[in-house]
Structure 1
């Protein structure tokens, strides 16, 4: 790997953030040995053992070693509550601490982006090859799949491994059957453009280990002579020069590395991949954003872009808990030393069982009401229950059926609080701030009750522990959603792409920052609307597409 110490330090491309998008970008951009690439990560290396054991997300989230430990501002829609807001602080970023669930969303998501940007490159049929390019899908192992159509939707031999979960729970199988009885079809693949149905999630794991983007895209590749990796390096701001025609050009970054301030220059581009919180924060700190916000902090305006930090969207999950009788759940398995020892031994010997579990196991996409022509809610179902993240499991058998609104109409903000890049910005999601979102919340809780009340689940005599059957009206259920709702960790949209005539668009359809040369944003912040599913793998698709544009335009 190239020595990062010489001064001056000049590169062709500087990628800020070695997370989901940044790792792929560094891989693709450095594939040409003539490109000098610098990848900067504020967190450390991904050597913490709990990153790699799937259940280790419990020990990585809200851990200062691996998580920035952001919190939201008190949220009116959550009845004044503030939530933890995890963001990965290590190589691999959020892919090192997330739920490992492989979901693309729906074809209509990407067709909608094409309409909003005026660029057909974002249509589903043109995004699909970018998903497939880096896929290594288990169903195509050993020569193929019984369904020949599967090759039309999935790739093999790429860096991003997708596998079946290495576990099975009877209580989840019965919940799936109950979902079918409630009118939700079974599906074999959530990722063909129409994700309606119920099945187990597929996961980003390899043989029972978490597969993060550091392993997938940097392992081995970081030894390239033309790729320099600076981890544990805090970017302090972007550097600018006057370009042709007087327009500002981003020419590098200033960073703190090993207790010293260093400057790295980019002859080509600076690419922000710091995520939906970090990228708008760095833009604002560098003078790109709403003029009034910059003035509040005495930051000179480089480019007035009012959309920077606006348009925050997230999936709010509403957790229903059902007490069960006669069910084998993790609550009963893991509430004794003997049970924990058996779980640990199974993982040690086989890489299976609860320690190989993603945070959620069973998935369902369906409609909250007949008013929707497409699935607008998603279930994450788990054979366990607890009061809140980080709390001990309940001492009775139970399942949790979390449901989220896939297409929220509420919009929030990310805004700096000071000129100090180490101070977390104000994160204000504004959950449940629209009548539509409150109605979907109430209706989705009724859908959960409908599933739990089906014959296939009756043998467990399910008792609604949360929120409680005493709550029935729309107002009651929407208020309860505010009491028990939590983020599912999918913030997007804070540097959205859009047409030239959209005053809130931060980047164009090729993710170039408006009004500034040599600067691009490539991460989940560019999504104009959130995808109808988990957001990690769509972010990889965005990076794949952007890498091709950058190299093609280089």
Structure 2
């Protein structure tokens, strides 16, 4: 069979595209996903759970071999020590990141999308994308010019009455610091603290797969969903993409289509293009790959939001419990303007986590997760490690490559430290410390029985005498920097931030859309890859710049908008 559309990647973008393109009965649509299915009535409990910490750390749902550099990699000094590789959790399951993420449903700043247009994405300014954000959502709380009521993804906020004591204390600390309360994070984009907006209904996750690939959609005769199917290589006839070879449950198969759409995310989509000979000429020649289309922007200017964490020990009476009305661990957020380096309003974001992990120690540790909402570090890249399709690419985020990002995180840490020591938070927490998402933390975060029992023992000790708890935190939790050090010594604070800064799993911008004459653009404003025919990219990789948001809703919006463009083009051709 020759399909009209073959979508490679069943994540957030792929789920939207499969739904919208197959809604026209004349279109034959094939959706390929490397991970497992999440069919209605059989969604794994870890994915469906309103608390996302188990799904996120469950290796069944990850590309387990993917590791990245987050710190700056020097290519000018071959003798420089390379920074450590870090595991970077990317989803390998139907629904993609929306099946394992924190269920954060925010959009970013209107200025983000006006910048998209100014960078060459004509038709993607705020007034043009807002209708598609509204098309995505079914807002359960608000009915106004900002929100949609008919979309596939429910959106809501946990009322303050259901917040745990730690979340309430953090909100009070924000108020004392002079920030105003915003009832709607996705309303007017101004500074303030607010209930986090989530893609969740009746205390259950609603992923893109759950929302867009429901029972009725799956019954369509013109839609085929093939899970446990990993794309191996794109097939070209001349410069036209005509199909894909894939391994389906261990067996290689070939699929042919009129149009192929890559929706594999900002790491794997550029890797597919590079293996097909689409990318920077020098790198392709170094890899021995014939050049099909010379596009220097493929894999370049990869972005994420640089992030740090200030953590603390939660007093027993203030902890999040399974019996609470909501088991959500992040209930309140803060958006503020740093006024550093000409940054736009709302350039900084803080998420308050009242539980740091699924296990017993996680229940005892709170974190204020700060990230640079409007980052200027855009020198990351994705390159091939080899031509073997089974090998993960080389990924370098080069976070903090722009000094303004470092300066803002330093200022933010000091601000959060003052809030941490303010009466509301001091009453419910103790022993603050600069936190690092180290390999040790990752290892203990893997969901298994060994870690379940190990953390129970550690938790019992942490709840013991205060002196023992401080010793354990400084000896086994803190990664080389104490709270006192970083608060009294700016050099120590800078060193901590340079070492501890990580991304927040918002990989984007590695196949940017832009003007035809822009040498660094990879796709046009409808996702079509320059220099070839029959091939599009539709996912976070085509963002011109990462927005001031968790990226899931911008991805859903992008897929909705491109799906409309594809359907409009096919009507014209018909």
The TM-score with structure 1 as length reference comes to 0.86
Instruction: Check the 8 A contact 1:105/1:195 in 2, yes or no.
Output: no
* C-alpha distance in 1 between matches for 2:271 and 2:121: 27
For 1:51, the equivalent position in structure 2 comes to 47
Superposed, which structure 2 residues align to 1:374-453 within 5 Å? 374-385=345-356, 393=361, 398-410=365-377, 411-453=379-421
For 1:364, the equivalent position in structure 2 comes to 334
For 1:493, the equivalent position in structure 2 comes to 509
Instruction: Check the 8 A contact 2:375/2:405 in 1, yes or no.
Output: yes
Deviations 1:460-498 (CA, angstroms, capped at 9, x unpaired): 475432251322444322211133333211110110111
2:177 is aligned with 1:210: no
Instruction: Check the 8 A contact 1:314/1:490 in 2, yes or no.
Output: yes
* C-alpha distance in 1 between matches for 2:151 and 2:405: 38
Instruction: Check the 8 A contact 1:498/1:528 in 2, yes or no.
Output: yes
- The change in CA–CA distance for 1:482 and 1:36 in structure 2 (over 3 A counts) is same
Q: Unaligned stretches of 5+ in structure 1? A: 1-8, 141-149, 243-247, 334-342
2:226 is aligned with 1:259: no
* C-alpha distance in 1 between matches for 2:405 and 2:202: 39
For 1:165, the equivalent position in structure 2 comes to 158
For 1:153, the equivalent position in structure 2 comes to 146
The TM-score with structure 2 as length reference comes to 0.83
* C-alpha distance in 2 between matches for 1:295 and 1:54: 47
Instruction: Check the 8 A contact 1:79/1:482 in 2, yes or no.
Output: no
* C-alpha distance in 2 between matches for 1:433 and 1:211: 36
Instruction: Check the 8 A contact 1:136/1:159 in 2, yes or no.
Output: yes
Q: Hey, which bits of structure 1, 4+ residues long, moved more than 6 A?
A: none
Please, which of 496, 499, 512 is the counterpart of residue 483 of structure 1?
Answer: 499
For 2:112, the equivalent position in structure 1 comes to 109
- The change in CA–CA distance for 1:90 and 1:370 in structure 2 (over 3 A counts) is closer
Deviation at 1:233, TM superposition (A): 0.9
* C-alpha distance in 2 between matches for 1:446 and 1:235: 46
Please, which of 119, 123, 126 is the counterpart of residue 124 of structure 1?
Answer: 126
Instruction: Check the 8 A contact 2:333/2:352 in 1, yes or no.
Output: yes
* C-alpha distance in 1 between matches for 2:549 and 2:30: 32
SS of equivalent to 1:158: coil
Deviation at 1:197, TM superposition (A): 1.4
Instruction: Check the 8 A contact 1:106/1:195 in 2, yes or no.
Output: no
Please, which of 20, 38, 51 is the counterpart of residue 30 of structure 2?
Answer: 38
2:557 is aligned with 1:541: yes
- The change in CA–CA distance for 1:323 and 1:524 in structure 2 (over 3 A counts) is same
* C-alpha distance in 2 between matches for 1:229 and 1:19: 12
Instruction: Check the 8 A contact 2:264/2:539 in 1, yes or no.
Output: yes
SS of equivalent to 2:351: strand
Deviations 1:480-517 (CA, angstroms, capped at 9, x unpaired): 11333332111101101112222111111222111111
2:138 is aligned with 1:136: yes
For 1:11, the equivalent position in structure 2 comes to 3
- The change in CA–CA distance for 1:474 and 1:497 in structure 2 (over 3 A counts) is farther
Please, which of 483, 486, 494 is the counterpart of residue 468 of structure 1?
Answer: 483
Instruction: Check the 8 A contact 2:203/2:326 in 1, yes or no.
Output: no
Deviations 1:109-142 (CA, angstroms, capped at 9, x unpaired): 00000111151x21111111001112111115xx
Superposed, which structure 2 residues align to 1:174-185 within 5 Å? 174-185=169-180
Please, which of 262, 286, 289 is the counterpart of residue 299 of structure 1?
Answer: 289
Instruction: Check the 8 A contact 1:317/1:487 in 2, yes or no.
Output: yes
For 1:94, the equivalent position in structure 2 comes to 97
SS of equivalent to 1:515: coil
Deviation at 1:314, TM superposition (A): 0.6
For 2:539, the equivalent position in structure 1 comes to 523
Deviation at 1:161, TM superposition (A): 0.9
2:318 is aligned with 1:328: yes
Instruction: Check the 8 A contact 1:12/1:37 in 2, yes or no.
Output: yes
- The change in CA–CA distance for 1:118 and 1:318 in structure 2 (over 3 A counts) is closer
Deviation at 1:391, TM superposition (A): 7.2
Deviation at 1:393, TM superposition (A): 1.5
* C-alpha distance in 2 between matches for 1:379 and 1:162: 20
* C-alpha distance in 2 between matches for 1:453 and 1:62: 31
Q: CA RMSD in A?
A: 2.3
For 1:505, the equivalent position in structure 2 comes to 521
Deviations 1:421-467 (CA, angstroms, capped at 9, x unpaired): 22111111111222222111211111212323445445447543225
Instruction: Check the 8 A contact 2:382/2:510 in 1, yes or no.
Output: yes
For 1:318, the equivalent position in structure 2 comes to 308
- The change in CA–CA distance for 1:251 and 1:260 in structure 2 (over 3 A counts) is same
Instruction: Check the 8 A contact 2:169/2:428 in 1, yes or no.
Output: no
For 1:25, the equivalent position in structure 2 comes to 17
SS of equivalent to 2:335: strand
For 1:4, the equivalent position in structure 2 comes to none
* C-alpha distance in 2 between matches for 1:391 and 1:415: 36
Deviation at 1:58, TM superposition (A): 3.0
Instruction: Check the 8 A contact 1:376/1:532 in 2, yes or no.
Output: yes
For 2:439, the equivalent position in structure 1 comes to none
Please, which of 231, 234, 238 is the counterpart of residue 234 of structure 2?
Answer: 238
